[in-house]
Amino acid sequence: MSMCAEVKEYPNSYAFLIEMPGLKREDFNIQLVDNHKVLLISVDKEREKEEGVKYVRAERRFGNYSRKFEISEDMNTEMISALYKDGVLTVTFDKLKRKKSKTVHVELA
């Protein structure tokens, strides 16, 4: 199953929005891998077994699937949160605070 995603940049954060309807919180596994350079989202969705049921049509996907996203250098991997609401998983990273560049004048001797 493909995970359709949007990545949004806000003034102080980044948000990954992934449409994943019909899942439960426990179906998700969200990890930072490869030295915190990659966000890995994986899902394990099993079909409920019903006695005596014959599927006439089955278009929904079940099983294991995952997607990787590269993490940019200004994403704070220590400040990450995830929320699953109304079929959309949102993973948010705060931006790293950048130090303002400072100019130093050096006198020639």
Q: Indicate the class that CATH gives domain 5-95.
A: mainly beta
**pTM for the predicted model, two decimal places:** 0.78
Domain ranges across the chain:
5-95
Q: Concatenated DSSP letters for 28-88?
A: EEEEEETTTTEEEEEEEEPPPP-TT---S---S--EEEEEEEEPPTTEEEEEEEEEEETTE
Place of tokens 């940019």: 72
pLDDT at position 1: 54
Q: What is the pLDDT of residue 50?
A: 85
Rounded to a whole number, what is the distance in angstroms from the first to the last CA of the chain? 67
Does pLDDT of 80 surpass 70? yes
Is 18 within 8 Å of 67 (Cβ atoms)? Answer: yes
pLDDT value at residue 104: 76
